[in-house]
Structure 1
Amino acid sequence: MAQHWQEILPIDRYNVASNGLLHEYDRKVLTFLYQPLIGSTCYSLYMTLWAELEENRLWSESSTHHLLMNLLEMNLKDIYEARLKLEGIGLLKVYVKTNEEERSFIYELHPPLNPEQFFLDGMLNIYLYRKIGKNHFARLKRFFTDKQKPKENEYHEVTAAFQDVFASAAPESLQYFQDVSADVEADENQQLIGRNETNPLQVDINTFDFNLLAAGLNESLVPQRALTPKVKNVISNLAFLYNINPIEMKNFILGAINPNDEIDIEDLRKGARDWYQFVNYDQLPSLINRTQPVAHQVQVTEPKTQEEKLIRYYETTPPLIVFKDLSGGVEPSNSNLKALEEIMIKYKLPPGVVNVMIEVVLIKTDMKFTKGFVETTASHWARKQVKTVKEAMELAKNEDRIRTDSKKAGKGANKKPIRTELIPDWFNESSEDANKDTSQGNNSDEAKKQAIKEKLKAFRK
């Protein structure tokens, strides 16, 4: 994927458009419901673009990204990364026009979901609950709710109908028989100001294997008509939210079938949520980057060397897949999954950096993925503000060199035998002293090292 400077430059121009009028109430929704999920940088970018629209207008004047950088006091990389998050969560659509002289963008702002849509979304509400906790979530829910209107059996409607109040008068002459469509419709190249409601967030249904799911349901005598488009959308979202495969999803669907052979969506959501909380110690999933953010990717050209291929792999692969590959296809345990989630959320390490750390930790702990060592490494790398895969690999190499030099000094002082550390094969082992230290390891360590190297070579191919 391209770097930010390949996508936008300070001299590139942009116009802000709005997909319908944005209301003052939208600010409250963005501030309290969206900001905890996307962060203050994305929130500031959205609000700044909104501010460029004049009151009750749909288009802004043209500006450059250099002005945007000055307004936000942000570099272009941070602006680009914030823009991608706004796109992903459905608040922004981007259009680009390129010619020989310049490149221009249209940033189309989309209104947030209304509170009812948000709290019944099934994805965003779950992420918000996990982010801010039960008490604050309940407080926000109270903030965006009000009393219900009285029950219908207590009142009866007496509203007058349109035809009871108004009448349509007939024209008295033929002068009214003319084409008025040009007067009542919008002029060419113009649009009437209105408001288009935002659709709920939807994961692409092609990311889920519905063929495998349908095959399993046929064996259980569940009719194909039960998988309506609405149900498929919910299944795709649940599969993404809780990391559910088609075989597991089949069990939740069987538990949500009603007497009419239809799938009850609320029962399906509840079943998936209860299962996830059961296997994750009553915790709910968090919203994190799936792969290394584009702004922090360094391998933008076609990789040629083995190290460049590894960097590309780490930058484009989710940590869960990397963990399974390095473990020979073995599924990570619940404690492993919890540790991975914690280091990405608590220490805010990008996914690509986490992938490097997974390899280092697995090799250093003899494939045990010890929680204490994981947290120590993660906190250290977070303090060093490691953001890219290349930085993580260089830091790991430097730490190993320091350990090697320290052991050599200790060996010269007291002549005690030193246990040789296992290291990834992308480490720089060209030093003769390092080779000497490695050769002093015992036979069992050498066997482990060779076995791990073979696993790494196998999955890299």
Structure 2
Amino acid sequence: MTLHWNEIQPVDEYKSCLSGVLHEADRKILTFLYQPLIGAKCFSLYMTLWAEVEKNRLVARVSNHYYLMNLMDMSLEEIYKERLKLEALGLLKTYAKKRDDIREFIYELQPPLTAEQFFHDGMLNVFLYRKIGRSHFQRLKEFFVDQFVPKTEYHDVTRDFQEVFSAGQTMINEEAIEVSQISQSQQFISKAEGKGVSLSEDTFDFSLLESALKGAMLSKVILTPSVKETIAKLSVLYGIEPLEMKNLLLSSMDEKDEIDLEVLRKSARDWYQLEKNSELPELIYLVQPVPLRTVEHEPTTQEEQLMHYLETTSPRQILIDISGSLPSKSDLKVIEGVMFQHKLPAGVVNVLIQYVLLKTDMKMTKSYVEKIASHWARKKVKTVKDAMDLAKSEHRQYLDWAQNKKQPSKKAAIRTEKLPEWFHETEETEKPAEKESAAIAAKRRELEERIKNNRLKRQVKQDEENR
């Protein structure tokens, strides 16, 4: 479990800096193209860090996070979560080091993509389109487009340097060359280029794709850096596996046996809408959105600690904490389907994972998970507390679904179900005959202890890395 107070404290110092000079055009791109995706608070954090750097400079003075909290009227947790959004979209790089009991951070603002890069990104533009709709998207595109001036009927009459100036017979001035150099502690003030969303190397299995292309008598040479970048984004955006991506690549070949990226993006979009029978995907946060959280302060009770854990941890990490190992691809696909198709928030999905795994002897059965998820989606469950309450009130119904799925014989013994600890915290009216046996209770406590130990190990590892 990654809690914000383990990562950052109000007394921790920071300095904001720029990787290159930012201009008015960058502000407009951030305002109109990025702000709908990241939200007003995240946008405000970027602009505040930018404003701390004096005009035509690259580095600001050192401050602490208590100052930033007062300046933005935001809690430390909110600042931390909004910072992660900036990092995820390639707008911020964070560097940290530890000095005694205080950590020092460098927040290096990255320039946004240019308007042309954004609208051709193949990922961010899709999320923006899904967020604001066609008419507003078209309006924003026109805001960043101007008339093209054709020059085909004109002749280039620009003079070269040699036609205007002459260098003369001067000697090479070593002093001028030497003075032009800068020290290692300095950098020239210049404009940097935005790199966009950064995806890890294991996002897509390119080795499997290359093997499939060999089977189709195609060389992996067609996988240029730009093509591979586009494939990685499309795989994250639409959930396309390597073998299916091979077919999309084949349909995107032009007459020169090269990949037409625009055709590839359109093919992927058509595949998604046909395969999923759905609209374009939207940007979904992998932890519970701040407005949907119920524990807004540092938790004090055991119940608040559990709810905070479920609200601030990703579903993938929940699977790791429960099982003690990396989740399988099939389990991850089940969870991704729940988040993207049923539009359940991450915290609600975490409750669902914990409930199903402990109830079905650690088996992530797709049909059973989707049935409960569909029920919660119809009930418009948005918070962790609502999900817990509904799991308790509908427990008998979910038990019937599970037993109908298994279709036990008439003489089969009914196994006592083990459930998450939160299920029993307020279940005071439960009959003695329905309570879990001592063996089941011991196994449940063992599983909870394993989750706790896994979280502690991760925390120790993070502390060592911070040192």
Give the shorter-chain TM-score range: 0.7 to 0.9
Q: Which of 213, 220, 225 is the equivalent residue of 2:216?
A: 220
8 Å Cα contact 1:81/1:293 also seen in 2: no
Give distance in 1, aligned partners of 2:427 and 2:142: 64
Give distance in 2, aligned partners of 1:233 and 1:273: 16
Aligned residue in 1 for 2:127? 127
8 Å Cα contact 1:16/1:107 also seen in 2: yes
Aligned residue in 1 for 2:285? 289
Task: Judge which range, 47-56 or 282-291, deviates more.
Answer: 282-291
Aligned residue in 2 for 1:411? none
1:135-174 alignment to 2 at 5 Å? 135-150=135-150, 152-171=151-170
Aligned residue in 1 for 2:267? 271
Deviation at 1:255, TM superposition (A): 0.9
1:306-317 alignment to 2 at 5 Å? 315-317=313-315
Deviation at 1:72, TM superposition (A): 0.9
Aligned residue in 2 for 1:98? 98
Q: Which of 431, 435, 440 is the equivalent residue of 2:431?
A: 435
Q: Which of 329, 332, 353 is the equivalent residue of 2:348?
A: 353
1:9-408 alignment to 2 at 5 Å? 9-150=9-150, 152-171=151-170, 177-281=173-277, 283-291=279-287, 315-318=313-316, 337=337, 340-344=340-344, 349=345, 351-357=346-352, 369=371, 373-379=375-381, 382=382, 385-386=383-384, 391=385, 395-396=389-390, 399=393
Deviation at 1:163, TM superposition (A): 1.6
Please tell me the residue identity of whatever aligns with 1:42.
Answer: C
Please tell me the residue identity of whatever aligns with 1:250.
Answer: K
Please tell me the residue identity of whatever aligns with 2:144.
Answer: F
Aligned residue in 1 for 2:406? none
Give distance in 2, aligned partners of 1:124 and 1:165: 47
Rg comparison, structure with higher value: 1
Deviation at 1:355, TM superposition (A): 3.1
Deviation at 1:117, TM superposition (A): 0.7
Q: Which 5+ residue runs of structure 2 have no aligned equivalent?
A: 296-304, 321-326, 360-366, 398-415, 436-443, 452-467
SS of match in other structure, 2:380: helix
8 Å Cα contact 1:42/1:86 also seen in 2: yes
SS of match in other structure, 2:104: strand
Please tell me the residue identity of whatever aligns with 1:375.
Answer: A
Please tell me the residue identity of whatever aligns with 1:156.
Answer: H
Deviations 1:318-340 (A, max 9, x none): 49999xx99x969769xx94885
Deviations 1:218-241 (A, max 9, x none): 211111222222221211111111
8 Å Cα contact 2:339/2:349 also seen in 1: no
8 Å Cα contact 1:130/1:285 also seen in 2: yes
Deviation at 1:263, TM superposition (A): 2.2
Give distance in 1, aligned partners of 2:39 and 2:132: 13
SS of match in other structure, 2:348: helix
Give distance in 1, aligned partners of 2:93 and 2:210: 34
SS of match in other structure, 1:97: strand
8 Å Cα contact 1:222/1:261 also seen in 2: no
Deviation at 1:136, TM superposition (A): 0.3
| Alignment CA distance shift 1:436-1:111 (3 Å) | same
8 Å Cα contact 1:97/1:104 also seen in 2: yes
Aligned residue in 2 for 1:446? none
Deviation at 1:258, TM superposition (A): 2.9
Give distance in 2, aligned partners of 1:37 and 1:58: 26
User: Could you say what the CA RMSD is over the residues aligned between the two structures, in angstroms?
Assistant: 4.2
Give distance in 2, aligned partners of 1:63 and 1:36: 29
SS of match in other structure, 1:434: coil
SS of match in other structure, 1:179: helix
Give distance in 2, aligned partners of 1:313 and 1:39: 19
Deviation at 1:162, TM superposition (A): 1.8
Give distance in 2, aligned partners of 1:10 and 1:67: 8
Give distance in 1, aligned partners of 2:45 and 2:311: 31
8 Å Cα contact 2:14/2:105 also seen in 1: yes
Give distance in 2, aligned partners of 1:191 and 1:331: 46
Aligned residue in 2 for 1:442? none
| Identity level (%) | 42
8 Å Cα contact 2:288/2:311 also seen in 1: no
8 Å Cα contact 1:53/1:60 also seen in 2: yes
SS of match in other structure, 1:343: coil
Deviations 1:264-317 (A, max 9, x none): 22221111111112234451111112356899899xxxxxxxx98xx7899443
8 Å Cα contact 1:314/1:356 also seen in 2: no
Give distance in 1, aligned partners of 2:87 and 2:294: 19
| Alignment CA distance shift 1:72-1:90 (3 Å) | same
Give distance in 2, aligned partners of 1:13 and 1:260: 55
SS of match in other structure, 1:268: helix
| Alignment CA distance shift 1:316-1:269 (3 Å) | same
Give distance in 1, aligned partners of 2:64 and 2:142: 41
Deviation at 1:361, TM superposition (A): 9.1
| Alignment CA distance shift 1:314-1:72 (3 Å) | closer
Deviation at 1:342, TM superposition (A): 5.0
Give distance in 2, aligned partners of 1:106 and 1:75: 20
8 Å Cα contact 1:2/1:294 also seen in 2: no
8 Å Cα contact 1:10/1:65 also seen in 2: yes
SS of match in other structure, 1:275: helix
| Alignment CA distance shift 1:338-1:140 (3 Å) | farther
User: TM-score, normalised on structure 1?
Assistant: 0.73
8 Å Cα contact 2:86/2:92 also seen in 1: yes
| Alignment CA distance shift 1:41-1:109 (3 Å) | same
8 Å Cα contact 1:22/1:111 also seen in 2: yes
SS of match in other structure, 1:46: helix
8 Å Cα contact 1:360/1:423 also seen in 2: no
8 Å Cα contact 2:92/2:108 also seen in 1: yes
Give distance in 2, aligned partners of 1:114 and 1:271: 25
